[in-house]
A = this chain, B = another copy of it.
Amino acid sequence: MGKKILIIGAVALGPKAACRARRLDPEAEILLIDRDDVISYGGCGIPYYVSGDVSDRKSLLTTVYHVVRDPGFFKAYKRVDVRTRTEALAIDRKAKTVRLKNLDTGAEESAAYDVLVLATGSNPFVPPVPGANLKGCLPIANMHHADAVKNAVQAGKVGTAVVVGAGAIGIEMCEALADLWGIETTLVEMVPQVLPQALGSDFARIVQHEIERAGVRVLLGDTVTEVLDDGNGNVRGVVTKNAGEIPCEMVIFAVGSRPNTTLAREAGLALGQFGGVLVDARMRTSDPNIYAGGDCVEIRHLVSGQNVHMPLGSMANRQGRVIGSNITGGGARFDGAVGSFVIRAFGLAAARAGLTEKQASAAGFDPVYAIIPTTDRAHFFPGAKMLYLKLIADRTSRRVLGIEAVCENGDAAKARVDAVAAILPFRPTADQISNLEVAYAPPYAQAMDVLNATANALENILDGRCKAMGVEEFLEGFHAGKYRVVDTRVARGAKACTEKYPGVWQSFPQEDIPGRLDELPKGGDVVMFCNSGVRSYDSQCFLMSEGIDLPHVQGGWLMLKSFEPGFQALDVPEGGEEGDEGH
């Protein structure tokens, strides 16, 4: 008799663990159950199915080679038994059995296991507001939700929609609804920025403008307090705390998910602070005969050292293989994660790994950061896109804590983030990223890649050689009348600003500064400015040697205009205003 392996949950981790276990142990009796009738689907593809990017629903349910991953597939190809519409009611850890219920017949039975795997996933969180159960209100957590949304929009029943939550799924659903279907969409987010878990507020603003440019109304720092009934049990609108009533026919809740751990909790397994099952680096729970992984567990964050809940299909797949190895006698490890993330938001992509500044502060670090906006490939190469890169480090240890990237070219953003993510577990310093070896050819990178250049800038900040101010701090102070600006661009680059803010915004082209030291504005609150930060940093170095200590605005005009497109109406001619040769 082979080892009895029972796996609860058949979306991502469950099938992966089952198939890996089968390959390693031909004798094992493997049973995979799921309460749904749709299994092993590409849940992350749902927004693209709704949008029409993915036109064929079936493609989310099939292999790369178009074979539907149904129980017959698993039986024929993987020699794994699958029972769908089967719910696990309770675990008897002592007897090593699970009570199963057939949801179609109502029949119950007890299944014995030698090893049990919990792949119970997470439940979408629906905020407890009045009306949240009306018809037309739904989360996006499985194919049934996807079908409901797609059927409604395809039937032309949805002219306006409200999406609650500006995380990845919320933004992807905005794109799906607004971009292809032309649905008037409002995005409501409680935190005063989009992607609050993924990006700092400055980069988040760039993404926000992209969402708004596409016609989506974005309400930040706001919450839905009520969903309104049309009298027939259908949604007719929402009320938000700040914006009042917003008519709509559909409300999508995308405010995150909670680990689905009812079974685990009732069986007395150890749970963590986020309610996820606690597992060791072998993905084993507090019961040595039970493993767990995917959306239902907490994992270690390899930068902060804290536990986190990281529900991602890629995590589930990698962990599933580790579990499949270990339940058949292997010694595979999953030590944790650094939080790599990428999203397409209309025409932009945003990617990150590690911690944002806020997360770094909360974890007890003293974060500083550098931002460089420059092209994703050689500046002379056609099709070059602006890539905004941010590196965050701990001031004391110089350890790099996080990276964020925003670019039209998503693969280019991802390339930089993935490279840094790979070494984050090795605790690299900023200096190591300065020499990080990225492949170079003009169609794909600059000779001094944006990644190296940003690390160079970060080193300079850590060394106290560069006194840097973020664009948010600058704009807040500038609009409050606090700062005077020394603009080191060539005169015609600075012209629009100097004309609009006479006496406050002054042109000091970099090359003229040595001869015009006496003219520099005196006193505090003078800020250096240029197009991207290179000229102003160069000027800062010179001025420091003259005993003059002025901060410069990180990312200069390129960050400012991306952060606040309405800063001034005149369009500043780009080009002709910078020296480079770097940081």
Which residues of A pack against B, CB within 8 Å? 12, 15-16, 19-20, 22-24, 26-27, 40, 42, 44-45, 48, 53-54, 56, 59-60, 62-67, 69, 73, 76-79, 168, 312-314, 316-318, 321-322, 332-335, 337-338, 340-344, 349, 351-353, 374-376, 378-382, 409-412, 414-423, 426, 431, 434-445, 447-449, 452, 456, 465, 510-511, 514, 531-532, 535, 538, 541-542, 544-545, 574-582
Contact = CB atoms under 8 A, between A and B. Distances in A.
The complex is assembled from copies of this chain, and their number is: 2
A19 B582 CA distance: 8
Nearest to A47: B442
Contact of A381 (B53, B415, B438): B53
Given A322-B435, A411-B412, A67 B579 contact: yes
A418 B415 contact: yes
Given A419-B418, A447-B313, A538-B23, A344 B581 contact: no
Nearest to A493: B65
Contacts of A63: 379, 578-581
B438 A314 contact: yes
A342 B419 contact: no
Contacts of A67: 576, 578-580
B441 A378 contact: no
Contacts of A456: 321
27 contacts: A23-B465, A23-B538, A23-B541, A24-B465, A42-B447, A59-B379, A65-B575, A65-B576, A66-B575, A67-B576, A77-B511, A78-B581, A79-B514, A79-B542, A314-B445, A314-B449, A318-B437, A332-B431, A333-B435, A337-B437, A340-B439, A344-B441, A352-B439, A410-B443, A415-B415, A421-B437, A421-B439
B582 A321 contact: yes
A59 B532 CA distance: 19
Nearest to A313: B447
Contact of A447 (B48, B79, B314, B580): B314
B321 A444 contact: no
A378 to B, nearest CB: 6
Contacts of A415: 411, 414-415, 418-419
A16 to B, nearest CB: 6
Contacts of A321: 434, 456, 582
B66 A576 contact: yes
B59 A437 contact: no
B414 A439 contact: yes
A417 to B, nearest CB: 6
A333 B65 CA distance: 48
Contact of A441 (B44, B54, B447): B44
B26 A442 contact: no
Given A19-B582, A64-B580, A410-B443, 15 more contacts: A44-B447, A45-B381, A63-B581, A64-B379, A64-B578, A65-B580, A67-B579, A314-B449, A333-B431, A341-B439, A342-B441, A352-B439, A376-B411, A415-B419, A417-B439
A440 B577 contact: no
A303 B422 CA distance: 17
Contacts of A538: 23, 77-78
Given A382-B54, A576-B66, A421 B442 contact: no
Given A417-B439, A418-B415, A45 B531 contact: no
A447 B579 contact: no
A322 B535 CA distance: 21
A436 to B, nearest CB: 6
A440 B54 contact: no
B423 A64 contact: no
Contacts of A353: 437, 439
Contacts of A582: 16, 19-20, 317, 321
Contact of A419 (B48, B64, B337, B419): B419
A411 B45 CA distance: 22
